[in-house]
Amino acid sequence: MSLLKPLSFALALVPASLMAADQPSRTAHTNYILRCAGCHGFEGGGTPEGGIPAFPDSVGYIAGTELGRTYMMHVPGVVSASLNNREIAEVMNYILDVWGETDSGEAPVHFTEEEVTRRRAEPVPDVVAYRRLAVDELTAMGITVADYPWP
The full 3-state SS of the chain, as one line of letters, equals CCCHHHHHHHHHHHHHHHHHHHCCCCCHHHHHHHHCHHHHCCCCCCEHHHCECCCCCCHHHHCCCHHHHHHHCCCHHHHCCCCCHHHHHHHHHHHHHHHCCCCCCCCCCCCCHHHHHHHHHCCCCCHHHHHHHHHHHHHHCCCCCCCCCCC
Domains of the chain: 26-140 (1.10.760.10)
pLDDT tens track, the chain, 151 positions: 554 554 444 445 444 443 344 445 789 999 999 999 999 999 999 988 888 999 999 999 999 999 999 999 999 889 888 999 999 999 999 999 999 999 988 778 999 999 999 999 999 999 999 999 999 999 999 999 988 877 6
Position 137 scores a pLDDT of 97
